Structure 1
Amino acid sequence: MKRYPLKTIAAPIVHQPLTESARSVLKMISRSGPVTRPQLSAALAFSKPTMSAAVGELEAHGLVASNGVARGAVGRTAVTYGLGAEAGFAIGVDCGTTQIHAMASKLDGQNFVELQQPVGVDGENAVQRFQAIETAIESLLSQCGKSHGPLRVIAIALPNIISQTLERLPARDDFAQTLQRLQDAYNVPIVVENNVNCAALAEYHEGAAKHHSFAIYLQIGVKVGVGIVLDGKLFRGFRGGAGEVGHLPFPWSETEKPRFQHVETYLGSVQLLQRCKENWPASEGEPPLSTAELFSRAQTSGHARSCIQRHANDIGNLVASCVSILDPELVVLGGGVGQNAILLEGVDKVVRELCWPVEIRVSELSNQATALGAVRLGVDFAMAGLLGEDSSAGFLFPGTLAEPVRQ
């Protein structure tokens, strides 16, 4: 059994629910950062007695604390209030096939510790990846110290369909054991979510979709997937499989039969490189070994540009399908391939031809999107708990791991 040298103290429980005014103040401070009482009163339309009572209530629980003095334009000063130490923090973990990317964040969204570490020699080994989650969290917590208050939640992003039974997760029982060990060690809720959903959430709050109410995030890299965010909430579908566009029937043809997950295979970076390599002209040297090299060589190689243009057309076909079904306000392209701006013109042209115009952008968060989304998921969950609101967690441990239905 693995030993955990650092035992995290569980978050203290607020024994009686916060008043409505206190919840309003806490929510505003968590979203806008340190503010003064006059600013809070003006924004919330609270009287001075109501504001004093609300701030006093939150201070008594340690959820809000004064953190400095603000000086106005005419020289007047006012105490600013931010989240207190007892508000605590959240951890988000992006568990990929090659590396673990973990972050710790206060509940006002301020990240304060981050680490990245390789998974191991065999990233496709699910058990090895799950073990890497444990060591990453242990290492991250060793850097957090005690000044940031209690750990409130751990959020884990995985490249899999996430349902209440996790029946489609490779090595499901091993992952359940990992969750139990984390629960035993840290005594906090654990939220699990699909990695593309997390990236979509991050783009909504901090990236290209920041000022849009309904956006979809299309990841094009080694694998393909869509995350759907409406008014800050993830749409997961009935079984957690919403956005799994890799399962779309493909190809549609009079002579070919659709193959399982062939959209993902065809649009994935491995086959993109293979198609480019097959007809790569000898006059342009050796073919690229990675998609990053392919896009870099597009400046000087006509064949590279041709391969990229064809891939943009293929991505455009997929985007047009998603737009026709969901009618989003914005489409964000991400992933190792999708985040390249050279694709935008070709994708946009195909979408306009096949359905109707829609705003299309590339990711602003690049390879950080999933980790940022995971920690955001954790922050939202922790704040919902403090505010007495629905956390909207798709999968929560302990509590929601049910036995899969055996056919």
Structure 2
Amino acid sequence: MSTAPTTERYELTDSARAVFRALAVGDPASRPALGEALGLSKVTMSVAIADLLKLDLVESRGTSRGPTGRSAMLYSVSPAAGHVLGIEVGATRVQVAAHGLGGGQITSRTHVLSAHNLNVTEAATRAAVELTELVRADVGDSSGPLLAAVVAAPTLPMYHTGSAQLLDGQQLATLLPVPADVPVLVENNVNCAAIAEHRIGVARDHEMFAYLQIGVKIGVGIVVGNRLLRGAHAAAGEVAMAPFPWAPGAVPRRAGLEEYLGSDALMQRCAAAWPERRGPAPRDAQALFDAAAHGDADARHMVDQHARDIGRLAVAVLSVIDPGLIVLGGGVGQNQLVVPEVRRTIQALAWDTEVTVGALGDHATLLGAVHTAIDRALDRITG
């Protein structure tokens, strides 16, 4: 796959830029509807649409009938306008997806990382490069130029997990087979999940909320005033670094809270506490939650205790930023069994705060990377 520059620049009027961005982030719309929403006259709208059609940035898509009974042509972003890549590098899998500027998926590929691989970083990097090349080949020339790519990954390699250091996202960005003029942004994976829930998930009507991810790792994505809060070191929400344990005579360990709340530690506690008369303990978090959901009292007891621990972390988050809404995500956090105890713990230790599970499940991180890439692509086209 060629990595030569392919993206052309467009000279657009301010009105054409506004129309194009509105179509990219919204549904197909007619010229009257767009003109009313953007405050543009009929003449200005006609010129803007004509310019965008000439550049193959938009296309007509059927008609709609208004309240007066008249039919109006609908317009949407053209597939030829271009596409973006979202790349998720997680603890257990790597995913790469190509989406059009209107948000629709073109193609995607997934690689599951082996739990027995001693060098997770190397395997994840290799998979991301190979999947990117495959996805670009799948897209071919049918969806316009590649305009932007975003890698969603743990972005603070400050501590170790097992024997392998966390992925160096910046290094991976230089290895991806994309054209030389395509910007590649590396964004924190939890931040990406928060962005997705804000754009198209349960938090889309909220100006402020916190996305609390609990899985193999933990983290918080914070949105304030409809903008992602990154912090002075791009480390806002790195709750894994909160001092833990914190008690008389105890010395906090670096990332100790993540070691305690991560799903690996959960299963270690489960194995230690599981009654011998019951036989082997559940093999992983999914099996534990499945058993609890089917009425297993021992499994439910462990799930509830873990949920209370998650609730205590949620209290720490809301005591600092008071987000009004906490969205739970991650392999463990997104399970509905967690929600009741989290709510009870928050009510007991702080004040009533809305708690819900994310709407996008396992797709949140990848979709957040995609929508961040679309934002960057629109900036390239519209300035």
- Listed as ranges, the matches of 1:206-245 within 5 Å are 206-245=200-239
Residue identity over aligned pairs, in percent, reads 38
Contact 2:206/2:226, CA 8 A, preserved across alignment: no
Given the alignment, which residue of 303, 309, 326 partners 1:308? 303
Question: Bigger CA drift: 125-134 or 234-243?
Answer: 125-134
* Aligned residue in 2 for 1:145: 140
User: Which segments of 5 or more consecutive residues in structure 2 lack a partner in the other structure?
Assistant: 159-164
**Matched residues, number:** 375
Separation in structure 1 between the aligned mates of residue 96 and residue 113 of structure 2, nearest angstrom: 12
Cα pair distance change 1:369/1:184, threshold 3 Å: closer
| Structure 2: distance between partners of 1:294 and 1:148 | 44
Of 249, 256, 279, the residue aligned with 2:250 is 256
**What's 1:114 paired with?**
108
Match of 1:13 in 2: 9
The residue type equivalent to 1:102 in the other structure is V
Q: CA 1:152/1:232 → structure 2, altered by over 3 Å: closer, same or farther?
A: farther
Write the distance in 2 (CA, Å) between the matches of 1:282 and 1:177: 47
Cα pair 1:101 1:115 within 8 Å, conserved:
yes
CA distance in 2, matches of 1:125, 1:255: 36
More displaced 10-residue stretch of structure 1: 98-107 or 242-251: 98-107
C-alpha contact (below 8 Å) 1:98/1:123 kept by paired residues: no
Quote the residue 1:70 is aligned against. Answer: 64
State which drifts further: 224-233 or 112-121: 112-121
3-state SS of 1:240 partner? coil
Give the AA of the match of 2:281.
P
Q: Report deviation, 1:268.
A: 0.7
Deviations 1:71-91 (A, max 9, x none): 456763322211134421111
CA pair 8-143 structure 1, distance change in 2 beyond 3 A: farther
How far has the Cα of 1:185 moved from its partner?
Answer: 4.4
Alpha-carbon distance, 1:62 to partner: 2.5
Q: Partner of 1:95 in structure 2?
A: 89
Query: Runs of at least 4 residues of structure 1 off by over 6 A?
Result: none
Q: CA deviation at 1:270?
A: 1.0
In the alignment, structure 1 residue 273 sits paired with structure 2 residue 282: no
- Is 1:198 matched up with 2:192? yes
What is the Cα deviation at residue 255 of structure 1? Answer: 2.3
Q: Cα gap change, 1:171/1:27 in structure 2, threshold over 3 Å: closer, same or farther?
A: closer
The answer to whether the 8 A contact 1:207-1:365 is kept is yes
Q: Secondary structure at the match of 2:176?
A: helix
Normalization by structure 1: what TM-score?
0.86
Decide whether aligned partners of structure 1 residues 184 and 75 sit closer, same or farther in structure 2, where only a CA change above 3 A counts: closer
Greater mean deviation of Cα atoms: 185-194 or 87-96: 185-194
Report the RMSD for the aligned CA atoms in angstroms.
Answer: 2.2
How far residue 348 of structure 1 moved from its aligned partner, in angstroms, is 0.9
The change in CA–CA distance for 1:181 and 1:261 in structure 2 (over 3 A counts) is closer
Within 1, Cα distance between the matches of 2:328 and 2:245?
22
One-letter amino acid of the structure 2 residue matched with residue 13 of structure 1: R
Give the partner amino acid of 2:221. G
Residues 216, 328 of structure 1: 8 Å contact kept: yes
Matched, 1:289 2:273: no
